[in-house]
Amino acid sequence: MTDRNDTATRVMALIEPFNKKGVDVTDTTRFAQDLEWDSLTVLDFVANIEDEYDILITMNQQAEIETVGQLVNAVMALKAA
Q: Which residues are catalytic?
A: 38
Q: What is the spatial distance between Cα 24 and Cα 62, in angstroms, rounded to a whole number?
A: 22
CB 44 within 8 Å of CB 80:
no
Binding of other proteins at residue 59 (CB under 8 A)? yes
Q: Which amino acid is at 74?
A: A
Binding of other proteins at residue 47 (CB under 8 A)? yes
Binding of other proteins at residue 36 (CB under 8 A)? no
Rank residues 1 and 56 by Cβ distance to other proteins and give the closer one.
Answer: 56
Beta-carbon count within 10 A of 11 CB: 21
Rank residues 19 and 41 by Cβ distance to other proteins and give the closer one.
Answer: 41
